Each structure stands twice: as structure tokens, then as C-alpha cells.
Amino acid sequence: MGRALRIFCCLIFLSAGMRGQQAGNQSATTQTNQTIVVTGTFVPVPLNESNRSVEAFDFCSEPLLYSSFVDYLSEDSSVDVQQREVDGEQADLSIRGSSFGQNLVLLNGLRLNDAQTGHHDLDLPFPLEALSGVEVLHGGGSLLYGADAVGGAVNFVTSRPDSAELRVRLGGGNFGFNEQRAIASFRTDKVGERLAMSRDASAGFEADRDYRNSSLSTETWTKTALGTSDILLSASDHPFGAGDFYGIFPSSERTKGWFGGLNQQLGSQTSVSFGYRRHSDEFILFRDDPSFYENNHITQSWQADLRRHSNVGKIFGIAYGVTADGDQITSNNLGNHARNRTAGYANVDMRYFRRISASIGGREEILSGGLSEFSPQATLSVWLRPSARLRGSIGRGFRLPSYTDLYYQDPANIGNPLLKPEISWSLEGGFEWVLARWVTASTTFFQRRDQNDIDYVRDISTDPWRAENIGHVVFNGLENSVQLTSKAQNEQLRISYTVIAASQQPLTGISEYVFNFPSHRATVTWIGRPMRVLSLSSTLQVVQRYYTDPYALWSFAASANSRHVRPFVQFFNLSSTVYQEIPGVHMPGRSIVGGLEFDVSKAHHL
């Protein structure tokens, strides 16, 4: 803990230097209205009344200060996006020390996880411009979402446009980087539409690390007598060099994604939703000789949900529903497989405004073959005073093996068709308080007790990795955050720090994934808008992974707040730190991106 304390104190000192004077609140990113969250709860609630630990990030306030969704998630010290390529082109997600397959990725509450492998869960089939924000649920979420939400869930959300707009963004940088992005939308009383596209490409900072990312989406909202209908269609194409990604090979890979989603209100208390996702993956071991070894996988998944909530008296509510989902794979390596799940769930909620809030519920999930998993959950919040509250939760979750875990075979990796589902119990207790109108803070202790964790292990470095269940692993952690805001100074400073420790039964062999979590992770983010003319941001991360040395990453961005033409510049890894987020996969040094955004929208707010 001595090293962790030094890291944290160093971050506070550096953040003070970046601020120059007392921290304040930036008008652009601090919302004057309450932030409403839909993740981790059956009905939307204000963020400061959620019984769960949830972080929310707004994509609309300062889009020119960010390059990808990774930049937002990196501001949460409990989230670790382990990249093989920049901007999330190939990245694994970890929440509170979980492995990459133990988290659920959602779009408006619909599942995006890939049944082939969790390495593709963040292969998002839509542009960043199509989104209004992202919400991160810390801790298990199987009651709401079913399988795979063991460590937590990341829910990307969209919202109906407020007005008509047309924006085009052009940029370029070192390593042959170039980007083109555009968004067009309109809104009437009964209809809303948003069309978004993006294309990013780079020659790569080293051999076999080039990439090209193209995506397109359209989303339509309509109001009828039943309620709001929301239809979203999107597609993406990601060819990239995969040198050293899965071994010391000059590989290449190309993934394509398609997604269709429907959310339909049926009155004020009932909704139905449907989602379909198709994902293809072409992996070539030796890029210059595709005939030597090539894998082709196509996965398809679907889900349907019927949800209802109603009030019982003034302080009680009940939410319940049924869901069905399935997935299948066609692969030259994994074979052809399919599986389905159905579930029913119910949750009773009690809310006595700013005094006490509690809920208890359960979900019964029936798997293919007749097996079932029960996921109970209970939460509690108690306000000691209007500015301070205690909260806690406990719940059970599970994760199913991916098709790669079960069936994959190559000279370096061996699957295991006898793998058991992972089982996890998560508990947490936290304290949140408002020290003054411009200072808020929180601290949360959490524990996750896993059984049958799926990992890849080997006895010596020359052996192939083989999929196995690990008997018992216990993760204990503490996450802390402090936020300082000031409307007068148009600034915001956020400091967050998470420490995690793991204990296990004796493990025979070398672990590849389960113990690649950050034991210490701290972030300092400052955003300011001096004189409302410029928008500035600075983010400093310090990361120490399990049994490795710490490293620091610093990024800085600036944009002009002009009416129709807005120049911007973004710097990444300013210290040119040499680091790896995935063992054996080098990440680039210092880089810069600059460009212009053209806005012909009638509405403009400084």
C-alpha cells in the first residue's frame, strides 16, 4: 500500500499544477440538470439516487476533446480497457479486476457481447457520433441482464436529437492517421432522425499495426398512441494488422459487424425490445501467406425482452419481465454450434425520498439442455443527511464459456469443451457525500468471490495455452473519487483511485488473463473552458498491473468554441511512455491529432 499511496499523492500534486488555481466547475461538461441513469436499475433514476455504483459520461458536451470511447472510460479508475491497438480497435474490457469475458457490453440495454470470444465485445458496430453517452455499472448485474455481467456492465446510450444539426469533422496526425466523421439529424414533434458515419485509418506506428475503421448508423424515433418507437440500424468494417496480438506472428484480421435494435413503449409502464447482431471475423496468422493458416468465424445473436413496472402505493414499486436470447456460430475452426436461454425476473423496490431506498429481486435463467442459473440481488441506500448517504448491495452472477473457450484449436491455444460456467458473488458497501456545493466525494469497498473462473494456463512458456476452470478466486478492492466543480471558473477536476488485490487457491501453471488486472489505477482529469472561448482537457493515468512496474500516461486536448468552424488538437502519451496493456503487445509513443469541425446547424450554444 506504500507504493499506492505515493502514486496517489503524486497524481494530486500533478493535478494541482495543471489547474494553476483552485479547481472549478466547467459549464460545458457539468450538467445543470440532474443526470438520469438507466443502467443498474429497472426504471430511470437520478444518478445520485442509484443504489448501485454507476458512472455516467456525456458524449455531447465536448466531443472535440475526445477521440474514442476509450478516452471516456479511461477516466474511471475502476475500468481498465486493455488495448492491442489505439482507439479501441482491438481491446479487452475489465471492471474491478474482472477478466475480459466477465463483463457485459450493451447498447440501450441490448446485448452486444460476442459469443465467439470476449475479445470482440468492444468491436462496436456504430460510430461514436451516434451516441449520447455511456454508463458504467460497477459490480455484478445478472439480475437485470443475465449471463456475463459478472464484473459489471458498460451501456452505450443514444437519445433523440434536440434539434436539427449537421456537423463534419476532418483530422489527421502522425503515423499516417486520418479521420472523417459526420452527423446529421432533425426533429419534429413526432419524428426524430440521426444519421452518423465515421472513418479512421492509420499506417501504424510499427509493422503490421495499420488499421482502417469504417462505421455507419441510422436511428429513427417516432411517437404514436402506444408510445415512443426507437429503431437503430448500424454496420462496421474493421481491417487491421494484428502483429503479435496472439503470439509472435505477423498476423492480420478483419471484422465486420451489423446491428439492428428496436425499443417500443406499450403505454407508460410496459416496453418491448428486440436486438439482432451479426459479427464476422477473418484471422490470418501470416499476413503475407494467407494459405498457411486462416480462421473464419461468423456469429449471430438475438434477444427479445418484455418489461413492465408499476407502483404499489406511494413508496413501493415492482418490476418484472421475461427475456429470451440465443446465439450461434459458423466457423472453420470452432465448428457449428448454437444455444438458447430464457429467463423470468422480478424486483420489488421501496423508495422514501432522501431517507431510505431498498430493493430485492431474483432472476431464473434456463439454459440449453435444461440447466438453470438463479441470480438474486438486494440493494440498500440510507441517507444520514441530505448531503450524505450509505449504500450497499449483494448479488449472484454467472458467465457462460465462449465458443473459443470451448472449441478453439491451434498450435498455441487449446479450448476445453468440458468447461463449467463461472459463478460469482459480488458485494459492496459505500459512502457518498457532498462536502460543499462544489465538492463531492465517494468511497466504496467491494468484494467478488469467483468460482470456476475461465483462464488459459500452461506449465512452461513453450507449452500451448489451454482453457481451464480455476477453482476459487477472491477479489477485494477499494475505489475512491473526489470531484471539484465551480461554475464561476468554468472548470472541473476529478480524481479517482482504485486498488485491487486477489487471492486464490494454488494454481498449477502460468495464468494468461485472470491476473492481468491493475492492482493500482489512478486518474486525474481536468476540464476547463477559459472565457468560454476555448475548451481544454488534461488526463493523467497511473497504472500498476499485478506484479509489474507502474507506468503513467498523459493526454491533453484543446478546441475552439467558434460558431461554424472549430479547430481542435489532441495529444496522446505526451511523455512517450513505453508500456503494454496486453503482455507482448507494444503500444505507441507520443502522438498528435489535429483538425477542424464544420457546423452548419442553426442552433449553437457557447
User: What average pLDDT score do residues 434-463 get?
Assistant: 92
Residue whose C-alpha cell is 495499420: 210
Contact 82, 98 (CB under 8 A): no
Looking at the DSSP bridge assignments, the partners of residue 306 are 272, 322
H helices present in 287-443, as ranges: 403-407
Q: What is the CA radius of gyration of the chain?
A: 23
In tens, the pLDDT along 204-256 reads: 999 999 999 999 999 999 998 889 999 999 999 999 999 998 878 899 999 99
Can you give the pTM of this predicted structure?
0.91
> Sign (positive/negative) of CA torsion 287, 288, 290, 292?
negative
In tens, the pLDDT along 364-383 reads: 999 988 889 999 999 999 99
| Pairing assessment for the beta strands 54-58 and 518-528 based on DSSP bridges | unpaired
In tens, the pLDDT along 515-537 reads: 889 999 999 999 999 888 899 99
C-alpha grid cell, residue 427: 458485494
**Residue 538: other Cβ atoms inside 10 A:** 22
Q: Report the C-alpha gap between 588 and 583 in whole angstroms.
A: 14
Query: Hey, where are the domains in the chain?
Result: 2-599
Q: Report the C-alpha gap between 522 and 242 in whole angstroms.
A: 29
pLDDT for residue 17: 36
**Across the chain, how many H-helices and E-strands are there?**
4, 33
In tens, the pLDDT along 269-313 reads: 999 999 999 999 999 999 999 999 999 999 999 999 999 999 998
Contact 116, 403 (CB under 8 A): yes
In tens, the pLDDT along 20-36 reads: 333 333 333 333 457 88
Q: Report the C-alpha gap between 590 and 555 in whole angstroms.
A: 9
Amino acid at residue number 420: K
* C-alpha torsion angle, residues 93, 96, 99, 101 (rounded to 10): -60
Beta-carbon contacts of residue 469 (< 8 Å; ≥ 6 apart): 419, 420, 422, 452, 453, 454, 455
Considering only the top CATH level, what class is 2-599? mainly beta
**Residue 75: other Cβ atoms inside 10 A:** 19
DSSP letter for each residue of 418-444: TPPPEEEEEEEEEEEEEEETTEEEEEE
User: In b/e form, how buried is each residue of 91-128, taking b as 16+ CB within 10 angstroms?
Assistant: bbbbbbbbbbbbbbbbbbbbbbbbbbbbbbbbbbbbbb
